[in-house]
Amino acid sequence: MALPSKEDLNENRLIFDYCCQLENNQLGNLLLDSFNGRHAFRKFKNTLYQNHLLEDYEKYKYQAEKKLATNWCKEHNLI
């Protein structure tokens, strides 16, 4: 049985979901716009940092990773 991989998280989808759940739609759109083309992840993280959201995004990502791991453990009857 293989452990979940980084690809199982689908960070592209995670970024989209994070941006859409922000209360400030303008900021969400700014973040989505930054996530394209060459160096998309770097531009996205820089935009998060510039808008004081990097820590918030990291918490959001951590929760998604935790949910993925928990679901995987449940599927394999480990918890």
pLDDT mean over 33-46: 98
**59-74 tens-digit pLDDT:** 999 999 999 999 999 9
Rounded CA-CA distance 11/36 in Å is 13
Give the pLDDT of residue 3.
77
pLDDT mean over 20-49: 98
Rounded CA-CA distance 58/42 in Å is 14
Asked whether the predicted pLDDT for residue 58 surpasses 80, the reply is yes
Asked whether the predicted pLDDT for residue 1 surpasses 90, the reply is no
pTM for this one? 0.89
